[in-house]
Amino acid sequence: MHKTEGYWNVKPRIKRLTFPKRGKFQVDLQDGRSITMPVSAFPSMKKVPLKERSQWYLMGGGVTWDSCPEVIHIEQILGNYQKYAHEAE
Q: Cα separation of 14 and 74, whole Å?
A: 7
Predicted confidence (pLDDT) per residue in 34-59, tens digit = 999 999 999 999 999 999 999 999 99
Q: What value does the mean pLDDT take over residues 4-14?
A: 87
Cβ count near 48 (within 10 Å): 19
pLDDT at 80 over 90: no
pTM: predicted TM-score of the whole model, two decimal places: 0.82
pLDDT score of 41: 96
**Stretch 76-82: mean pLDDT:** 78
